[in-house]
Structure 1
C-alpha cells in the first residue's frame, strides 16, 4: 500500500499534493548538538539531540540505545532525539563512542 500524501482542500474541493516535510535534522557543519529544553514541559527538562543525518529508523534505534544507557524515556520527533534526562555529559560520551562529533549547546 502506497502513501500518496493527498490532501483535500476546501478551496473548490480540489485534491492537492501535500508538501514533503523533511524528517532529517542536519547541521551544515556536521556537528551533533545537545541542548536542554524545559519550555512547554511544565518545568521538566529534556535533552534534545540535533544534527544527526540519519534515516528515521536509524534514529529510532539510536534513541532506544541512549534511553537504555541513561535509564530514562525519550522519543524521536521531527528528526531530533528527545531524551528525558539532564545528563548531557553522559549523552555526549555515548554519542562520541558511536563516532559522532558532539558539542553541548546552550547553558
Structure 2
C-alpha cells in the first residue's frame, strides 16, 4: 500500500472515530459551563478571523478597498435581515462599482 493511501486511510479512520465519540460519550461526560462558554467564544473568534483574512487579503497582500466595502455592505444587509440574495447581490454590486471606478487597489 502506498504512503498516500495509508495517510488517506488513517485520516478517514480518525475522522470517523472523532465523529463517533460525540454520540458514544453523550451523557457520560459532563463539560463544565466555563468550557462550553470558551468553546463558543473560540468558534466566534475563528470565524471572525477567517472573515477578516478573506475580506482584507489576497495572496498575502491587502486586497484593496473594494472587497472590504462589499463585505461591510453584506454585513449591514445581513444585520438588517435582508434576504440572502439581496445580501449577496448588494455586496457584489458595491464591490463591482468600486472596482469599476478604480477603487480596487490599496
| TM > 0.5 fold call | no
Instruction: Name which one, 1 or 2, has greater alpha-carbon Rg.
Output: 2
Name the one with the larger strand percent: 1
TM-score, structure 1 as length reference = 0.25
TM-score, structure 2 as length reference = 0.25
Name the one with the larger helix percent: 2
Of structures 1 and 2, the one scoring higher in RCO (CA 8 A, sep 6+) is 1
